[in-house]
């Protein structure tokens, strides 16, 4: 549907025309009696195609190199052109703009043809028959070391498709769910307690009941973990925050499981593979890049951004991490990403109807923006940096409803670039709460060690602590941490910020 020879923007334009087809096809397949296993496989083929293309071009070739070095070399050369790592710098600057575009297009077309020829040759080799194909049923099951829950949303029916090591299960959800999601979506960036309770009643509770997670996790015991993959109009809803928090009886997602999100099962497999690579450095003793944008051209100042990064710096230096503070401009930030294991950004984020144009706002955001597309074109998979912490507004938001099947937002872009973990936000975040959230998460990394589990559980613990403060205060907003309030939303329009029912809700985890 989207040829690898096309630039990301062209792929995305084509994929917008197919929005919703995969979920509708999955719903109809279930209606006519197809198995959950087949339906999950079809969803994998029909969603996250742009992300899948990025992953394909960055697939690990170690085993292929060892057994078929000629095929590995051919594939590596072709993908270098398509992934932007090989450029003809000596020719393009001397040519007219039109000629250079034609040359680049032809060059990519030839590379695509060579890549497809090479892929077919690779698939003829023993043990490489499924090279770059969507995951087979056994590969999907192998990814489910924790339950994977796909919430398929369609006007035909809505279902929770659960992937476990033992097999696939399907829960048919309420017949009114599709209509209810559309109504609640109008207030998604300002969710009420009623919305969180609705998410619990109609989506999360049925899933946890099927998984026999029927009570809060006792103190000191291992937390269950779930990967959530929402589809269609449900993308962006805070499934991790669902529940009856005011009751304090444990009828919440937060009191029963640790939540992570994913674009697709393929992206989960990629994160797991990245985690297992033997060449990776341990993050301890390596570098953290801190970027602080207290003052951003044309936008309101963030009075707490510098306090946040000073807090993070203090914790990280106590862990032996080396500090890097680049000039907050695109070129310098992209450069420092190549040599740091942790990247922490505190500043404004901006979303766009074109997800590839969503950005972190640096000093040069007007002239040379650090967009999702520029991050997607940055290949860090060879070193798999540990954590990107995007402490800004809406870094995990997809604004264009026709783009939800691809779910390309800033958080996903940093994961696809190669980060093992990314912490992002679903909507606007409170400037002062960012300080508390970051401090508590990094303190967990300090106390529990820099490892995969500590990232997701660090966010989970911090969210529970801030949730508890919110419940005790019995207010819509948390007053305890702020006397001055501003948001990290790089909007340039006149939208008026509205109060959130719970300022801890927007934070989400993607990763291993």
d(CA 306, CA 337) in angstroms, rounded, equals: 20
Instruction: Please list, residue by residue across 260-282, b when 16 or more beta carbons sit within 10 angstroms of its beta carbon and e when fewer do.
Output: bbbbbbbbbbbbbbbbeeeeeee
Longest dimension (CA), the chain: 69
* Helices and strands in the chain: count of H runs, count of E runs: 18, 14
**Strand pairing partners for 507?**
425
Report how far apart the first and last C-alpha atoms of the chain are (Å, whole number): 28
pTM: 0.89
Across residues 31-38, what is the average pLDDT? 97
The enclosing H or E element of 159 equals: strand 158-164
How much is the pLDDT for 493?
45
Across residues 35-52, what is the average pLDDT? 92
pLDDT at 35 over 80: yes
- Residue pair 457/258 in contact (Cβ under 8 Å)? The answer is yes
- Residue pair 385/337 in contact (Cβ under 8 Å)? The answer is yes
- Residue pair 2/50 in contact (Cβ under 8 Å)? The answer is yes
CB atoms within 10 A of CB 89: 7
Judged by DSSP in three states, 154 sits in coil
Within a 13 Å sphere around the CA of 439, how many CA atoms are in the beta-carbon half? 16
Environment class of 443 (CB within 10 Å of its CB; exposed 0-12, middle 13-18, buried 19+): middle
State the pLDDT confidence band at 7, using cuts at 50, 70 and 90.
confident
pLDDT at 278 over 70: no
| Orientation of helix 410-417 relative to helix 265-276, angle to 10° | 40
How much is the pLDDT for 486?
63
- Residue pair 16/126 in contact (Cβ under 8 Å)? The answer is no
- Contacts of 426 by beta carbon, 8 Å cutoff, 6+ apart: 236, 238, 394, 396, 397, 505, 506, 507, 508
The enclosing H or E element of 144 equals: none
416-443: pLDDT as tens digits: 999 999 999 999 999 999 999 999 999 9
Between 291 and 269, the more confident residue is 291
182-205: pLDDT as tens digits: 999 988 887 889 999 999 999 999
- Residue pair 2/49 in contact (Cβ under 8 Å)? The answer is yes
d(CA 261, CA 245) in angstroms, rounded, equals: 21
The architecture that CATH gives domain 281-462+502-511 is 3-Layer(aba) Sandwich (3.40)
pLDDT at 94 over 70: no
Between 473 and 503, the more confident residue is 503
- Residue pair 274/379 in contact (Cβ under 8 Å)? The answer is no
d(CA 178, CA 194) in angstroms, rounded, equals: 17
pLDDT at 452 over 80: yes
How much is the pLDDT for 123?
96
Across residues 455-481, what is the average pLDDT? 80
217-249: pLDDT as tens digits: 888 889 999 999 999 999 999 999 999 999 888
Looking at the chain, the whole-number percentage of residues with pLDDT higher than 90 is 70
Residue whose token pair is 């369609």: 154
Across residues 321-344, what is the average pLDDT? 96
Between 253 and 279, the more confident residue is 253
**Cα distances (angstroms) measured from residue 199 to each of 162, 196, 213, 237, 480:** 17, 5, 16, 9, 27
How much is the pLDDT for 98?
60
- Residue pair 446/318 in contact (Cβ under 8 Å)? The answer is yes
Across residues 495-503, what is the average pLDDT? 53
How much is the pLDDT for 501?
55
pLDDT at 353 over 80: yes
State the pLDDT confidence band at 495, using cuts at 50, 70 and 90.
very low
Write the DSSP assignment of 497-509 as a string of letters. Answer: P---S-TTTTEEE
pLDDT at 115 over 70: yes
How much is the pLDDT for 496?
37
Please give the sequence-ordered ranges of beta strands (E in DSSP) within 192-301, or none if there are none.
Answer: 225-230, 258-261, 287-292
pLDDT at 75 over 90: yes
Looking at the chain, the whole-number percentage of residues with pLDDT higher than 70 is 88
Instruction: Please list, residue by residue across 166-203, b when 16 or more beta carbons sit within 10 angstroms of its beta carbon and e when fewer do.
Output: eebbbbebeeebbebbeebbeebbebeeebbbbbbebb
How much is the pLDDT for 19?
81
* Mean pLDDT of the chain, nearest integer: 88
pLDDT at 489 over 80: no
How much is the pLDDT for 85?
54
How much is the pLDDT for 49?
87
């Amino acid at each position: 549907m989207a040829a690898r020879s096309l630039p990301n923007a062209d792929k995305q334009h084509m994929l917008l025309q197919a929005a919703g087809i995969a979920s509708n096809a999955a719903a109809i397949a279930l209606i006519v009696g197809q198995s959950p296993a087949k339906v999950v496989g079809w969803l994998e083929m029909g969603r996250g195609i742009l992300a899948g293309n990025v992953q394909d071009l960055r697939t690990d070739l170690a085993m292929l190199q060892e057994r078929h070095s000629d095929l590995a070399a051919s594939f590596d050369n072709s993908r270098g052109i398509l992934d932007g790592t090989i450029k003809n710098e000596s020719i393009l600057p001397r040519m007219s703009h039109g000629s250079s575009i034609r040359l680049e297009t032809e060059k990519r077309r030839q590379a695509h043809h060579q890549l497809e020829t090479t892929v077919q040759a690779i698939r003829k080799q023993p043990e490489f028959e499924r090279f770059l194909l969507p995951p087979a049923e056994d590969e999907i099951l192998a990814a489910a070391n924790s339950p994977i829950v796909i919430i398929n949303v369609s006007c035909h029916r809505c279902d929770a498709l659960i992937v476990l090591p033992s097999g696939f299960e399907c829960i048919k959800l309420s017949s009114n769910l599709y209509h209810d999601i559309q109504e609640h979506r109008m207030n998604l960036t300002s969710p009420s307690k009623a919305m969180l309770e609705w998410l619990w009643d109609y989506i999360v509770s049925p899933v946890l009941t099927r998984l026999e997670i029927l009570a809060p996790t006792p103190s000191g015991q291992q937390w269950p973990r779930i990967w959530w993959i929402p589809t269609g109009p449900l993308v962006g809803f805070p499934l991790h925050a669902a529940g009856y928090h005011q009751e304090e009886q444990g009828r919440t997602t937060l009191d029963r499981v640790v939540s992570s999100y994913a674009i697709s099962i393929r992206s989960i497999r990629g994160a797991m593979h990245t985690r297992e690579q033997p060449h990776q450095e341990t993050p301890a003793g390596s570098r953290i890049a801190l970027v602080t944008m207290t003052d951003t051209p044309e936008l309101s100042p963030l009075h707490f951004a510098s306090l946040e990064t000073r807090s993070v710096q203090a914790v990280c230096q106590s862990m032996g991490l080396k500090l890097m503070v680049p000039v907050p401009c695109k070129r310098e930030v992209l450069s420092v990403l190549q040599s740091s294991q942790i990247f922490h950004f505190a500043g404004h984020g901006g979303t766009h109807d074109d997800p590839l144009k969503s950005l972190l706002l640096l000093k040069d955001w007007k002239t040379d923006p650090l967009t999702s597309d520029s991050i997607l074109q940055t290949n860090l998979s060879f070193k798999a940096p540990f954590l990107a912490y995007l402490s800004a507004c809406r870094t995990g938001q997809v604004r264009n409803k026709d783009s939800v099947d691809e779910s390309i937002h800033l958080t996903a872009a940093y994961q696809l670039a190669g980060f093992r973990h990314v912490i992002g936000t679903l909507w606007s975040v409170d400037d002062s709460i960012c300080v508390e959230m970051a401090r508590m998460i990094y303190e967990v990394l300090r106390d529990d060690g820099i490892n995969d589990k500590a990232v997701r559980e660090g966010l989970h613990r911090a969210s529970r602590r801030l949730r508890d403060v919110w419940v005790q205060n019995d207010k819509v907003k948390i007053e305890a941490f702020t006397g001055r309030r501003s948001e990290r939303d790089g909007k340039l329009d006149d939208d008026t910020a509205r109060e959130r029912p719970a300022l801890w809700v927007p934070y989400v985890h993607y990763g291993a």
